[in-house]
Chains A and B, each alone.
Chain A
Amino acid sequence: QQQVKQSPQSLIVQKGGISIINCAYENTAFDYFPWYQQFPGKGPALLIAIRPDVSEKKEGRFTISFNKSAKQFSLHIMDSQPGDSATYFCAAGGSTGFQKLVFGTGTRLLVSP
């Protein structure tokens, strides 16, 4: 019940294209769903996050879509750039009390020039 399943494992997108990464969770107690971006040799950096009271959140070129009934959420990167090439992790947790962040297995994104 603590798992977060992420797909695809890797993704190649042309510059200017849309990158889409999907995640699914099981624990309905989760109420906080962040996405992290990680470059090689660096720690994960918080990119964008959503709570289940909204179905979509947009920040610049990054959008999270959230489907509470399906227990799924996705990250869309519009106008993908070579600088977006990194590993992306979805996660799920709680915004209050303690619900540790549970991470997906990651998606390695390569944006070709």
Chain B
Amino acid sequence: DTGVSQDPRHKITKRGQNVTFRCDPISEHNRLYWYRQTLGQGPEFLTYFQNEAQLEKSRLLSDRFSAERPKGSFSTLEIQRTEQGDSAMYLCASSLAGTGKAGELFFGEGSRLTVL
């Protein structure tokens, strides 16, 4: 399978715990995005990387959230001191910039977080 893969698919945690999600993009894609989707809503942009550089972060990304893409390949999204309001589906997507197709995002199946 050469699509975007995310792990874990589901995570249940208690309030105050830290969680980390991993995303492996399509191998030749140089852009990687994190979005958050709550029930009944469209995906909301959180942050994106071009290669290993994090180029934009949404105001939704509080200081409890941190994302990395250390070698320009996979990425991790960590949420520290989780709150119930963090419960959502965290979606990763990738695209190929420089070909006029930067906007063609391919999404993974998401990591669903439930904070008790």
Contacts and interface: CB of A to CB of B under 8 A. Distances in A.
B91 A44 contact: yes
Interface string A77-113: 0000000000001010111111111111110000000
A49 interface: yes
A6 B40 CA distance: 13
Nearest to A101: B105
Interface residues of B, number: 25
A105 B116 CA distance: 26
Contact of B102 (A42, A94, A105): A94
A109 to B, nearest CB: 14
Contacts of A49: 103-104
A12 interface: no
B106 interface: yes
A43 B42 CA distance: 11
Contact of B103 (A36, A44, A101, A106): A101
Contacts of A99: 103
Contact of B42 (A34, A97, A105): A105
A106 B42 contact: yes
B104 A96 contact: no
A43 B109 contact: yes
Interface string B37-61: 0001111110010000001100000
A32 interface: yes
B42 A95 contact: no
Contact of A95 (B48, B102, B106, B108): B102
Contacts of B93: 43
A36 B40 CA distance: 15
Contacts of A104: 42
Contacts of A105: 40-42
Nearest to B47: A100
Interface of A: 6, 32, 34, 36, 41-46, 49, 89, 91, 93-106
9 contacts: A42-B110, A43-B91, A43-B107, A49-B104, A91-B42, A101-B43, A103-B44, A105-B40, A106-B40
